[in-house]
Amino acid sequence: MQKVRQITQMFDKLTVVEERFVNLEKILTDPEVIRDQYLYRQYSKEHAELSKIVSVFRQYKQAARDLQESKDLLNERDEEIKELAREDIEVLSGRLERLEQELKLLLMPKDQNDDKNIVLEIRAGTGGEEAGLFAADLFKMYSRYAESLGWMVEVLSKHVTGVGGLKEIVALIKGKGAYSRFKYESGTHRVQRVPVTESQGRIHTSAVTVAVLVEPEDVDVKIDPNEIRVDVFRSTGPGGQSVNTTDSAVRITHLPTGLVVSCQDEKSQHKNKVKAMKVLRARLYDQIVSERDEKISADRRSQVGTGDRSGRIRTYNFPQGRVTDHRIGLTLYKLESIIEGDLADIINALITHHQALAIQNADAESKDAA
């Protein structure tokens, strides 16, 4: 009975969505709307967003009709027809179940940040030079994964180590859906391998932290110029050597929060300031979102969430060629290809896990409401 009630409620919502979709198709043929490019873009965007839901809903309705027709055939006297009907019922029931799950996902509120660009921050943790080398490996891994999707990677700031590693790197990844693919990467990444600096061949364990921040729009975070202090200084490289002879490096301090961002990669002071402001804006937005999420009751939080940055989320074991994501218990023996940017299996598994939890939570809330 509960199941029937949930499907009825979902069906009612989808019927309203389909009616709106049909109405939008008419609106988009209106000459006045076509002439108004702003209106046309708005309606076109809404139409595109509803298109997937309506397509799956229509497949669902057709499968339901086909299933009912097959069930009706069970009343036939011909045993051969009845046997074929039973086979069709099994296939159609499975299809209907899959479409129902897909519709539940499509009806869920979309993360408003999913389509946005991200600011990726990678920092070497415990492990000395080896941690810095692994930080460089992770940046290469994420860069190649982003590039395989046709996204652009722009380094905003970096601090290199003497052996070619990275103490810290901050990069902007631009691409539609970047946050949706990267948002589960925040946390501590652990590596187990023999460091290149180790002559005894002993396996060391090092750690690197990753933070994935949304690149907010200007309207998302407004920064009062009177609330920041901008300091300029001379850029320096590894070991303290001078990179250039002008005061082009920029340090911005957000006075209300105490957040400090430095950027020295560009030779132009203006370019360094622009990059530093991008990072500051992303960190402030992340702070706002984190404070908001803290107000959400613990029982409604996703078990994966956006990743606790203090928690170990993944281990890369080089001697065994193994990568393990501890949040979902996934182990893959393809470390070499993963480090080269083949992250699809891990990220898809995390997304699927998160979606399954979201459906469970939605079903639980629906039961409570009933």
Tokens of 12: 């009612």
Pair (132, 92) in one structural domain:
no
- The 10 Å Cβ neighbour count of residue 344 is 13
* Per-residue pLDDT at 4 exceeds 70: no
Pair (271, 338) in one structural domain:
yes
**Is there a domain that residue 187 lies in?**
yes
pTM higher than 0.75: no
pLDDT category at 362 given cuts 50, 70, 90 is low
Give residue 315's domain range: 118-355
Closest to 290 (Cα-Cα) out of 185, 177, 212, 174 = 212
Pair (202, 328) in one structural domain:
yes
Among 84, 107, 130, identify where a domain stops. Answer: 107
Instruction: Determine contact, residues 107/9, Cβ cutoff 8 Å.
Output: no
Average pLDDT, the chain: 85
Pair (90, 162) in one structural domain:
no
DSSP code of residue 236: B
Pair (90, 145) in one structural domain:
no
What's the confidence (pLDDT) of residue 161?
86
pLDDT in tens, 80-95: 888 999 999 999 999 9
Pair (102, 220) in one structural domain:
no
Which CATH number does the domain housing residue 232 bear? Answer: 3.30.70.1660
SS3 content of the chain, % helix, strand, coil (to 5): 50, 20, 30
Pair (136, 69) in one structural domain:
no
Among 107, 130, 165, identify where a domain stops. Answer: 107
**Is there a domain that residue 369 lies in?**
no
Domains in the chain: how many in total? 2
Among 85, 107, 129, identify where a domain stops. Answer: 107
**Is there a domain that residue 218 lies in?**
yes
The Cα–Cα gap between 183 and 30 comes to 40
**Is there a domain that residue 33 lies in?**
yes
pLDDT in tens, 246-287: 578 889 999 988 898 888 888 888 888 888 888 888 888 888
The Cα–Cα gap between 329 and 320 comes to 17
The Cα–Cα gap between 202 and 128 comes to 15
Pair (84, 125) in one structural domain:
no
pLDDT in tens, 174-206: 999 999 999 999 999 999 998 876 666 788 899
Which CATH number does the domain housing residue 20 bear? Answer: 1.20.58
pLDDT category at 65 given cuts 50, 70, 90 is very high
The residue assigned the tokens 């009709």 is: 65
Pair (252, 346) in one structural domain:
yes
* Packing angle of the helix pair 2-27, 79-107 (nearest 10 deg): 70
